Structure 1
Amino acid sequence: MAELEAVQTAVARAESELRRASVTVRSKDRAVEATVGHQGELTALRFLDGKYRTMAAGELAASVLEATERARTQMSRQVMETFRPFTQPSSSVPELTGVDVDWAEIFGSDVLEEPYPAQARRTRDRLHDEINDDAEDEDRHV
């Protein structure tokens, strides 16, 4: 019973800590900074160094999406790491086998992947190149 109470107290403490948690990430082009809260909600968005003034709409949108998605993924991983001890069986009470959590169901399968695997990086680079090409085309038609 004491072990169960200790786990309940630890879960409550983890939940309380996560309620105050946030993650801030800058886009790779360093034009945008996005902050998300513990539920992945966007809580702040900053445009850095006036770079947005020279960016095409598609480039800016891509930067916002990239920073926001990276922040959400980092927050999801922080939540997973915080609750990981509760998914492990108890060493002192064999009956407490740990909670089975389907992280992919909660956060989506991307959270289980390594940050920026080679394939995703190639796809993202190709998309960024296409956005740049579109921006150059827009400049020519204006």
Structure 2
Amino acid sequence: MEQRIAKAMAELENVQAAVARAEERLRSSAASVRSRDRAVEVTVGPGGELTGVKFLDNKYRSMNAAQLSASVMEAVDRARTQMAREVMDTFAPLTEPSAEVPELRGVDVDWERIFGPVLGDGADGGHGRRGGSRLRDEIHEDDDGRTRGRGRA
């Protein structure tokens, strides 16, 4: 019994060390994404917080307010999704059951509760269309109404 307890304690210490390493790695992580129209580049941190916005090649000068806003929001959504997936991938090994101590089943993480709607339903890699998509589509339309394509396959 003492040997099993010692093994479980060692495994717990390993998990705690792995969590500390993952947190340290993520502390300096960021995701940078360009909008599909390549007018904006945004950077988000590990918590999905917006840490940077760049307006590229002066394209914003020819955009109206709705187009620019849609471009920014689209890039932010995609960057947050990318960062959420990186966080999930980093912590995924900690959700696995222990090979050494079967009683340690791994951490049960409710990713939807943590990240909310950022992940979408997962069916399309988290890039699902949500409310406000029509506004985001405006970034792909010329002023004369011709469409340049909406990034759909």
TM-score by length of 2: 0.78
Match of 1:25 among 33, 38, 44: 33
Q: Which has the larger helix fraction?
A: 1
Q: Does residue 1:59 correspond to 2:67, yes or no? A: yes
Determine the C-alpha separation between the residues in 2 that align with 1:50 and 1:76. Answer: 30
- What are the superposed Cα offsets for residues 54-99 of structure 1, whole Å, 9 maximum, x if unpaired? 0111000000000011101110111011011111110111111011
- In structure 1, stretches of 5+ residues that fail to align are 138-142
Which residue in the other structure is 2:21 paired with? 13
Q: Once the two structures are aligned, what percentage of the paired residues are identical?
A: 56
Q: 1:1-142 counterparts in 2 under 5 A?
A: 1-111=9-119, 112-113=121-122, 114-115=124-125, 116-117=127-128, 120=129, 124=133, 127-129=136-138, 132=141
- In structure 2, stretches of 5+ residues that fail to align are 1-8, 146-153
TM-score by length of 1: 0.83
Count of residues paired in the alignment: 133
Distance 1:8 1:127, change over 3 A: closer
Q: Which amino acid aligns with 2:86?
A: Q
Which residue in the other structure is 2:151 paired with? none
SS at match of 1:100: coil
Determine the C-alpha separation between the residues in 1 that align with 2:70 and 2:57. Answer: 17
Which residue in the other structure is 1:140 paired with? none
Determine the C-alpha separation between the residues in 1 that align with 2:89 and 2:140. Answer: 35
TM-aligned CA deviation for residue 51 of structure 1: 0.3
Runs of 4+ in 1 over 2 A off after TM superposition: 114-117, 123-127, 129-133
